[in-house]
Homo-oligomer: A and B are copies of this chain.
Amino acid sequence: MGDVALHTPDAPGYPVRSVGKALEILLMLRDRETIGIAEASRELGIARSTAHRLLSMLEHYRFAQRDTKSRGYRSGPALVSLGLAAVVRMDIRRLARPHMERLAHEIEETVTLMCLEGADVRFLDSVESPRPVRVAGRTGLLRPAHCTSAGKAILADLPSEQLEKLYPDEPLRTLTERSIGSRRRLLTVLEEVRRAGYATNLGESDAGLVGIGVAIPNLAGSPSAGIGIAAPESRLAPEQIREIADAALRTANAIANTFE
């Protein structure tokens, strides 16, 4: 009678193991550059022959391709086109675009849309500053969330137990010497972010680059997202920050309201 496992809304009542394993291989392909057959077999707990067959299958459908020198499989063209098609269709991105363009035009700096992916943020889209000297948009990039402005804003919105899961190991990854290196420091920074409503990034991801980021609230279902504004260090005076953050917050709210 009463089903206890209701708290996992999408547990497949009738799993198809081979498909599950194949999808897990695809997910491995996201984090690793290439995968070997033995590697996959070990990691998924399946026989080498099975891993071989699954990878051949992925190769046949162009989801994977063999690296030259026939050593290991890497992600194939089907993933590229599927992914790009999915990105273009993403609700957040489509809805956010016009607002981002308005914001980029108003403050004349590069605006980027990001979403959380594990403990990282993925750059989903960006509108570059109209000025000749500007920060380039780097769609597709992955950065540690705690090293970016929008990433910090997103983290600040997370429930604390989820946050702890994301940072199990103590020495946090750093990109520059200004990056946040310890969990304690991160927690106090996030507290400040919650108070201020926005986050900053003062050369913590790239030297000479500063950013201001806010989270997009109420993204029902889809992973948490945010927008960040990036500028050359020399151009952003401290007294502008509040003003720019307000513009970003207005934009984020406008995006959130577009969800009917």
Q: Give me the interface of A with B, judged by CB distance under 8 Å.
A: 10-16, 18-20, 22-24, 26-27, 29-31, 33, 53-54, 56-61, 63, 65, 68, 74-90, 115, 117, 122, 124, 128, 130, 132, 139-142, 221-223
Contacts and interface: CB of A to CB of B under 8 A. Distances in A.
B82 A20 contact: no
Given A19-B19, A142-B85, A222 B130 contact: no
A111 to B, nearest CB: 13
27 contacts: A12-B60, A13-B56, A14-B56, A15-B57, A16-B53, A19-B57, A20-B61, A22-B22, A22-B23, A23-B57, A23-B63, A24-B61, A26-B63, A27-B61, A29-B85, A30-B81, A30-B86, A31-B85, A65-B221, A68-B221, A75-B89, A79-B86, A80-B86, A83-B85, A84-B87, A84-B122, A139-B139
Copies in the complex: 2
A81 B130 contact: no
Given A53-B12, A61-B20, A82 B84 contact: no
Given A26-B63, A81-B83, A128-B128, 6 more contacts: A16-B22, A18-B18, A23-B63, A75-B89, A82-B83, A84-B140
A86 B68 CA distance: 16
A83 to B, nearest CB: 1
Contacts of A15: 57
A86 B88 contact: no
Contacts of A142: 85, 88
A27 to B, nearest CB: 7
B80 A75 contact: no
A27 B60 CA distance: 13
Q: Which 6 A-B pairs have the closest CB atoms?
A: A83-B83, A75-B86, A88-B140, A84-B140, A79-B86, A23-B61
